[in-house]
């Protein structure tokens, strides 16, 4: 210590020199009252908007702040829209902000059990219930889940039409009853429970919005139905709690036995029968409706994404062979299946909104929340936040292999002290039930009967009906030399013997207008005769563009329609004589290739096709950079050159000797996917950087994109081409010849190859995104091209 410092300290001790003052504290910013959302109506506030479109209204609030005030009649409610603040609310502020009005309504039905209790009572009850979901019990639960699902699915019949939401509700109820209660419900009780659930959830939301609790006691129809639903729930629970299976309760190790053997930590006395019933009702209410809804959405998403189902089944074949009882260790190996279920739960969070009430003034981030304020948050809105989950409405299981949205952004089972005690049970139930169903049956959606969102306090899935077709075999598939991966079970096996699976396209007025304008253009240019128009319009090419280029607008949309339509008409021309006569094929293609490299005169062989192509090439390249023009010309020429090459093989009789590599090369370039990937840059408004185009990973991704879309097209066009006798260049037939296998096995091999290509493509996108973070638009566009091809191929009348 220096002499100066010693002297100063000595003087301070003697009081001669005052101590050096501490630095002033930084000014604190006072917490602000959340802003009021716009659009409140006199008297009713925002209630009409919330009831009319709950998810749309709640999803619109984040732009106004992390916490936003809304008015529901005379009440003011704060909506928490920021995921981090919701996590804070559930964890750090759990004591000061107990459950709110929505949950309070359910005390009539659920009593004061784990779901409804707060504070010390909740902690005591959680300690009592927690052992029922201990890890050492999970193996027994998995066995029951598997057996129940196998039994129920075994009662279904080929050709049967299944109301999926109803059947999944019955299945989830039976799983809970038999695994946790060791009991069996009568079919009448099961049906009554299913019918009562809508009235229970509707009554819950309506009563929670009443301006005064006394309105819940009025003899209004919604109140009477709610009370009747509560009576049904109690009757079903009584049957389960008091049901008797073989042996004593203690031997069966059921939840009622566990509860009756427990001691209430607060009183030191055994739980009463009312306590047992309260917990039983909680398990029925929380463990049935949300799980059954999620199972319904899971099946609906797999119908929309057969490549995901194929990959799921391939993983099940590897780690959970058919007929084996699932174990916790086996489930832990199903990493892709877990990603699928996580994505279903993210996109279709069962809880539309939940509430808390601030019992004291609290600070929530930069916001001051007065005592008595009701706080509302929507898991569905949080899980669809585009800042946390890019392209939030897209079903992308791969996002969970890329890290998901973060611990505080994915809260399907809550957080903190109120986090669902049965989380592991629910994840296992989803996986085991889906595996048992998909192994036995191949559901096929009926036209116009897809799942739709019906929002109360939960986001229910209603309307999905499927026709059941048995899935062949249950043994693990043989490894296929064609793809190098296990041949996954196909969702279309053979691909088009079943009705296609409708998927609503991005149909807008602009898209439909582009389709009408394109048809006029094709007729005016002589590409179509008026009599050809109805059959051509049945192809619904605008739906393919709507799915594959969801951001295309204006002239870009018109160009895409005209290019795709022109190429389709050209492709159809080769179903006739030019497809079998090499000289005619060359005469048709040469003027098209010539147009790519400079001005050319009309082509007498087919002047209308050539004239239309010269116009299209000018529209594509008029404002393009030299690099884009050169690349696009090169790839269009590779595409067009495949037509005479295929004609020469047919004319020379060399098709049977073609190997798989040569077939894939021809199909890859003949599909026009490369040129359409170039048009992604036109739609975006700028070229991707040269360094991005030079990256070898992008070259592999583009090849994968072209191959995946082409193979999907081959699967759906197979029967049409066979009817025409022109299936020579369909990859399914090439695989069948190369392996000397059945058509069915070849279909499975191609299906598995598509799944593998999609998997590899996601890994390539992640790699490219790390090196080229600004080119996400291009990477997403390649995914949308494949998805558009899948959806359109499965529904278009071109192949039917």
Percent of the chain surpassing pLDDT 70: 84
Top-confidence residue, 112 or 134: 134
Top-confidence residue, 102 or 58: 58
Per-residue pLDDT, averaged over 275-299, amounts to 85
pLDDT of 478 reads 30
Spatial contact of 665 and 638, defined as CB atoms under 8 Å apart: no
Is residue 585 scored above 50 in pLDDT? yes
142-151, 223-232, 541-550: range with lowest mean pLDDT: 223-232
pLDDT of 472 reads 63
54-58, 251-255, 640-644: range with lowest mean pLDDT: 251-255
Spatial contact of 289 and 169, defined as CB atoms under 8 Å apart: yes
Is residue 412 scored above 70 in pLDDT? yes
Which run of H or of E encompasses 455? strand 452-455
Model confidence band, residue 656 (pLDDT cutoffs 50, 70, 90): low
Is residue 491 scored above 60 in pLDDT? no
Top-confidence residue, 569 or 799: 569
Measured in degrees and rounded to the nearest 5, phi and psi for residue 116 equal -105, -20
Distance CA 84, CA 388 (A): 11
Is residue 117 scored above 70 in pLDDT? yes
20-24, 96-100, 564-568, 681-685: range with lowest mean pLDDT: 20-24
Distance CA 98, CA 105 (A): 14
pLDDT of 654 reads 72
DSSP for residue 48: H
Spatial contact of 705 and 782, defined as CB atoms under 8 Å apart: yes
Q: How far is CA 332 from the centre of its chain?
A: 21
115's CB contacts (< 8 A; 6+ apart) are 103, 106, 282, 285, 286
The closest alpha carbon to 69, from 58, 83, 56, 79, belongs to: 79
Percent of the chain surpassing pLDDT 90: 39
Which run of H or of E encompasses 357? strand 354-357
The closest alpha carbon to 171, from 295, 77, 57, 78, belongs to: 295
Spatial contact of 496 and 327, defined as CB atoms under 8 Å apart: no
Is residue 123 scored above 60 in pLDDT? yes
pLDDT of 245 reads 45
Measured in degrees and rounded to the nearest 5, phi and psi for residue 206 equal -65, -45
Give me the helices (H) in 21-105, please: 47-52, 54-60, 83-90, 101-105
Q: How many C-beta atoms surround the C-beta of residue 351 within 10 A?
A: 18
The closest alpha carbon to 565, from 622, 525, 508, belongs to: 525
Per-residue pLDDT, averaged over 747-758, amounts to 89
26-30, 233-237, 390-394: range with lowest mean pLDDT: 26-30
Distance CA 131, CA 134 (A): 5
Per-residue pLDDT, averaged over 357-384, amounts to 94
Q: How far is CA 459 from the centre of its chain?
A: 14
Model confidence band, residue 658 (pLDDT cutoffs 50, 70, 90): low
The closest alpha carbon to 443, from 505, 504, 489, belongs to: 489
Is residue 496 scored above 80 in pLDDT? no
Q: How many C-beta atoms surround the C-beta of residue 767 within 10 A?
A: 15
- The structure tokens listed for 443 are 């559901």
Per-residue pLDDT, averaged over 686-710, amounts to 93
Per-residue pLDDT, averaged over 733-738, amounts to 82
528's CB contacts (< 8 A; 6+ apart) are 519, 522, 536, 569
Sheet of 354-357: strand order equals 35-36, 67-72, 75-80, 374-377, 354-357
Q: What is the mean pLDDT of the chain?
A: 82
Using alpha carbons only, what angle is made at residue 745 by residues 300 and 473, rounded to the nearest 5 degrees?
65
Is residue 655 scored above 70 in pLDDT? no
Cα 336 to Cα 215, 319, 389, 402, 443: the distances in Å are 49, 11, 18, 12, 21
pLDDT of 353 reads 82
Is residue 66 scored above 50 in pLDDT? yes
Model confidence band, residue 70 (pLDDT cutoffs 50, 70, 90): very high
| CB-side neighbour CA atoms (13 Å) of 581 | 8
Tens of pLDDT along 528-565?
998 889 888 888 899 899 989 988 888 899 999 999 99
Distance CA 308, CA 489 (A): 11
Model confidence band, residue 249 (pLDDT cutoffs 50, 70, 90): very low
pLDDT of 298 reads 96
Distance CA 771, CA 774 (A): 9
Tens of pLDDT along 449-484?
788 888 866 788 889 999 999 886 533 333 322 223
Is residue 494 scored above 60 in pLDDT? no
Per-residue pLDDT, averaged over 234-242, amounts to 79
267's CB contacts (< 8 A; 6+ apart) are none
Cα 678 to Cα 281, 654, 778: the distances in Å are 58, 33, 10
Tens of pLDDT along 175-200?
988 888 888 777 677 777 777 777 77
Model confidence band, residue 104 (pLDDT cutoffs 50, 70, 90): low
Which run of H or of E encompasses 374? strand 374-377
Top-confidence residue, 223 or 294: 294
Counting every residue, how long is the chain? Answer: 800
Return the exposure string of 645-657: e unless at least 16 CB atoms fall within 10 Å of the residue's CB, then b: bbbbbbbeeebee
67-76, 536-545, 572-581: range with lowest mean pLDDT: 572-581
Please state whether beta strands 465-470 and 161-163 pair in parallel, antiparallel, or not at all (unpaired): antiparallel
Is residue 761 scored above 70 in pLDDT? yes
pLDDT of 535 reads 86
């Amino acid at each position: 210590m220096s002499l100066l410092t010693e002297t100063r300290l000595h003087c301070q001790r003697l009081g001669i020199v005052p101590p050096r003052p501490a630095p002033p504290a930084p000014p604190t910013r006072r917490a602000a009252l959340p802003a009021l959302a716009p659009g409140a109506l006199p008297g009713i506030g925002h209630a009409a908007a919330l009831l009319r479109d709950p998810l749309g209204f709640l999803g619109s609030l984040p732009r106004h702040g992390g916490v936003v005030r809304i008015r529901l009649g005379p009440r003011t409610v704060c909506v928490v829209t920021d995921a981090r603040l919701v996590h804070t609310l559930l964890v750090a502020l759990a004591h000061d902000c107990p459950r709110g009005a929505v949950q309070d309504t359910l005390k009539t039905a659920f009593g004061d059990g784990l779901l409804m209790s707060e504070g010390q009572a909740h902690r005591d009850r959680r300690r009592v219930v927690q052992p029922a979901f201990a890890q050492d019990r999970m193996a027994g639960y998995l066995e029951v889940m598997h057996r129940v699902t196998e039994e129920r699915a075994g009662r279904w019949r080929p050709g049967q039409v299944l109301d999926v939401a109803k059947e999944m509700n019955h299945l989830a109820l039976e799983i809970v009853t038999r695994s946790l209660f060791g009991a069996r419900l009568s079919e009448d009780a099961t049906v009554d429970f299913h019918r009562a659930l809508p009235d229970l959830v509707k009554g819950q939301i309506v009563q929670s919005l009443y301006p005064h609790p006394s309105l819940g006691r009025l003899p209004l129809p919604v109140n009477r139905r709610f009370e009747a639903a509560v009576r049904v729930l109690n009757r079903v629970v009584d049957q389960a709690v008091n049901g008797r299976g073989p042996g004593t309760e203690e031997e069966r190790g059921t939840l009622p036995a566990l509860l009756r053997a427990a001691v209430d930590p607060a009183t030191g006395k055994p739980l009463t029968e009312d306590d047992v019933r309260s917990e039983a009702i909680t398990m029925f209410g929380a463990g049935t409706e949300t799980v059954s809804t999620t199972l319904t959405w899971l099946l609906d998403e797999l119908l929309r994404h057969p490549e995901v189902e194929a990959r799921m089944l391939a993983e099940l074949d590897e780690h959970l062979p058919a007929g084996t009882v699932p174990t916790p260790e086996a489930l832990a190996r199903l990493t892709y299946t877990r990603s699928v279920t996580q994505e279903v739960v993210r996109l279709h969070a069962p809880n539309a909104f939940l509430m808390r009430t601030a019992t004291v003034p609290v600070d929530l981030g930069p916001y001051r929340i007065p005592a008595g304020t009701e706080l509302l948050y929507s898991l569905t809105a949080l899980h669809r936040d585009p800042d946390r989950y890019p392209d939030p409405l897209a079903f992308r299981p791969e996002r969970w292999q890329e890290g998901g949205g973060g611990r505080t952004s994915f809260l399907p089972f809550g957080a903190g002290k109120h986090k669902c005690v049965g989380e592991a049970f629910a994840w296992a139930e989803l996986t085991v039930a889906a595996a048992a169903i998909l192994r036995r049956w191949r559901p096929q959606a009926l036209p116009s009967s897809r799942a739709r969102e019906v929002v109360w306090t939960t986001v229910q899935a209603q309307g999905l009906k499927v026709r059941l077709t048995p899935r062949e075999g249950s043994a693990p598939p043989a490894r296929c030399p064609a793809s190098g991966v296990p041949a996954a079970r196909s969702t279309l096996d053979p691909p088009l013997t079943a009705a296609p699976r409708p998927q609503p396209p991005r149909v807008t007025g602009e898209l439909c207008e582009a389709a009408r304008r394109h048809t006029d253009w094709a007729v005016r240019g002589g590409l179509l005769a008026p009599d050809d128009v109805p059959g051509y319009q049945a192809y619904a090419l605008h739906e393919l563009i709507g799915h594959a280029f969801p951001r295309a607008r204006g002239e870009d949309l018109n160009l895409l329609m005209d290019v795709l339509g022109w190429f389709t008409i050209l492709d159809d021309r080769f179903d006739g004589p030019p497809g079998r006569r090499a000289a005619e094929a060359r005469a048709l293609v040469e003027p098209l290739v010539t147009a790519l490299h400079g001005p050319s005169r009309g082509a007498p062989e087919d002047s209308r096709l050539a004239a239309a192509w010269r116009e299209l090439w000018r529209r594509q390249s008029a404002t393009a950079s030299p690099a884009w023009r050169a690349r696009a010309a090169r790839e269009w020429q590779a595409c067009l050159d495949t037509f005479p090459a295929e004609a020469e093989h047919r004319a020379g009789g060399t098709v049977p000797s073609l190997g798989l590599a040569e077939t894939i090369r021809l199909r890859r370039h003949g599909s026009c996917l490369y040129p359409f990937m170039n048009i992604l840059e036109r739609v975006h408004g700028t070229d991707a950087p040269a360094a991005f185009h030079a990256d070898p990973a992008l070259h592999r991704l583009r090849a994968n994109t072209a191959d995946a879309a082409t193979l999907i097209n081959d699967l759906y066009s197979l029967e049409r081409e066979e009817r025409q006798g022109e299936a020579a260049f369909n990859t399914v037939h090439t695989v069948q010849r190369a392996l000397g296998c059945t058509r069915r096995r070849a279909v499975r091999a191609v299906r598995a190859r598509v799944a593998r290509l999609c998997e590899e493509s996601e890994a390539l996108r992640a790699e490219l995104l790390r090196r080229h973070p600004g080119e996400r638009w291009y990477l997403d566009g390649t995914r949308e091209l494949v998805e558009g091809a899948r959806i359109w191929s499965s529904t278009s009348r071109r192949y039917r």
